Amino acid sequence: MDTAQSHIDAAPLPSARELRRRSNVLVQLVRFLKINVSMYLLAKRHH
């Protein structure tokens, strides 16, 4: 258990800019649409 906790403690923390980007609804929407379009194109190409 101590090994896992030491890995968690050593993990880098996100910057303020990164936290702002992760919580931005517009960025989340664009990423969601990008993933959906790529999955659609993949399915369309193979079927």
Which ranges in the chain belong to alpha helices (H)? 2-10, 16-23, 25-46
Give domain status of residue 18, yes or no.
yes
Domain enclosing residue 28, as ranges? 14-46
Q: Is residue 27 situated within a structural domain? A: yes
Residue linked to tokens 């993990």: 11
Q: Contact, 17 vs 23, CB < 8 A?
A: no
- pLDDT (0 to 100) of residue 46: 83
Whether residue 3 is contained in a domain is answered as no
Look at the pTM and tell me if it is higher than 0.95: no
Structure confidence at residue 2 (pLDDT):
74
Token output for 39: 């999955």
Q: For residue 10, what pLDDT is reported?
A: 92
pLDDT value of position 1 = 56
pLDDT in tens, 1-47: 578 999 999 999 999 999 999 999 999 999 999 999 999 999 999 87
Rg of the chain, C-alpha, whole Å? 18
**pLDDT in the model for residue 30:** 96
Does residue 31 form part of some domain?
yes
